[in-house]
Structure 1
């Protein structure tokens, strides 16, 4: 088996303050292409963000790419099974994380790179970003829950156009089909992500966690099931100490106006 080179820190973690942390994929020599080690490092960093009480995470890439998918040049002696399992775990970690994750797309988001961005809560794209899901071009299938998330994000017809052709699209085209939250100038991308993260961090964390969970839960429920689940969630949130304080403050403001 080919000996792989020892790589530097695979995920660079930068705490902006007590509430917001930036996780930067750090394999620029491979356009931040995923391998098992990078996925494990990212899973660890996400879990650590929760343990440290962070309220928002910014996920971005080092260099000129967000992530160029899985590293197909690495030796795989199991038909790619470990890579596939790693990607599925990462998608589950991102979508189930109780804090919001902002994908700041700098440059290329290809294959699994596009797919992990889709599993985030916000997709901010630099105007020079480019997206593609080229699985059909290399004879494979989608991963990371994309078969579930993509059509629910952009609609089945637009999803078919994007995936079945496998062609690269620009940030403006991604914005037009609803794939990204917003597009900003490349030199403003990190500042825009930090501004959004700060806004999210100012919201009650238990409410953010409840609503994020509800959004993903509701993707696969009937309307009646969603109503029942919402009732349980609202009752639980209503009696949370922070909610009680916020509602009391709101009532006082309403009385004075």
Structure 2
């Protein structure tokens, strides 16, 4: 297996497979502008190198914890809206790539990270993984058409309206995950997926993706744009983050 680093994304080649590692473990692999740009570039490199299977993984404990809002206090509403639209465009690209895609996710898989997982053909949840779509809690409508096409309208509404995490087995039952594996089973799963992907040419994969998706990309993008254009986006995110922090149990010995 050969590998190269592209800043926040590391690309490893193994035969017909290209494994793209989200490599910001200290930030929970959250999707900031730099990581999104690097992931887009790594996909370009994988395709240019002839990969037939593109695999998304996350370094550290968590696959991806959603949007990176480390700079929330200094970001403008325009900055926040643009980065969310940029993530949606990346998700649309991944879902329509002319190669087979696979996500292998452990730990927390939240928000835009769960949408990244849902955009792939093979969606492997590692034991102990949890998935949640909290975006509606701060008025965000992201990737809803893809999710509904994957799990059905009723289940998608339930996941989005509740915002509560579901475990790996529940994700499998819903159709959000296509398999639940232990870490030790991953190499065999990768090998099987790569062998299957190598049988199909790019035109066939692209055609299959086009005919087996229910999502309307333009409608999803429009819904997202309307949701981020509502006044008060930054305040809604701040209020949501404050509520999440307030709901966490206090550490032993810490002041209430």
Partner in structure 2 of residue 21 of structure 1: 18
Where 1:63 maps in the other structure, the secondary structure is: coil
| Equivalent-residue separation in structure 1 for 2:76 and 2:159 (angstroms) | 30
Structure 1 position 136, deviation (Å): 3.2
Q: What are the Cα deviations for residues 210-242 of structure 1, in whole angstroms up to 9, with x where unaligned?
A: 2123223x656xxxxxxxxxxxxxxxxxxxxxx
Structure 1 position 190, deviation (Å): 4.4
Partner in structure 2 of residue 121 of structure 1: 121
* TM-score computed with the length of structure 2 as normaliser: 0.76
Structure 1 position 74, deviation (Å): 2.1
Structure 1 position 201, deviation (Å): 1.8
C-alpha RMSD of the superposition:
1.8
| Equivalent-residue separation in structure 2 for 1:180 and 1:198 (angstroms) | 21
| Equivalent-residue separation in structure 2 for 1:187 and 1:107 (angstroms) | 16
Higher mean alpha-carbon deviation, 191-200 vs 31-40, is at 191-200
Give unpaired runs (5+ residues) of structure 2.
Answer: 1-5, 217-256
Structure 1 position 186, deviation (Å): 2.7
| Residue number among 7, 10, 14 corresponding to 2:8 in the alignment | 10
| Residue number among 27, 52, 68 corresponding to 2:49 in the alignment | 52
| Equivalent-residue separation in structure 1 for 2:192 and 2:71 (angstroms) | 37
| Equivalent-residue separation in structure 2 for 1:107 and 1:198 (angstroms) | 27
| Equivalent-residue separation in structure 1 for 2:45 and 2:210 (angstroms) | 19
Structure 1 position 49, deviation (Å): 1.5
Higher mean alpha-carbon deviation, 121-130 vs 36-45, is at 121-130
**Structure 1 residue ranges (4+ consecutive) displaced by more than 4 angstroms after TM superposition:** none
Where 1:67 maps in the other structure, the secondary structure is: coil
Say which one has the larger Rg.
Answer: 1
Pairs within 5 Å for 1:31-46: 31-46=28-43
Partner in structure 2 of residue 140 of structure 1: 139
1:128·1:186 contact (CA, 8 Å) conserved in 2?
no
Partner in structure 2 of residue 71 of structure 1: 68
* TM-score computed with the length of structure 1 as normaliser: 0.75
Q: What are the Cα deviations for residues 51-76 of structure 1, in whole angstroms up to 9, with x where unaligned?
A: 22211111110011110000122242
| Equivalent-residue separation in structure 2 for 1:24 and 1:42 (angstroms) | 9
Pairs within 5 Å for 1:79-98: 79=78, 80-98=80-98
1:100·1:212 contact (CA, 8 Å) conserved in 2?
no
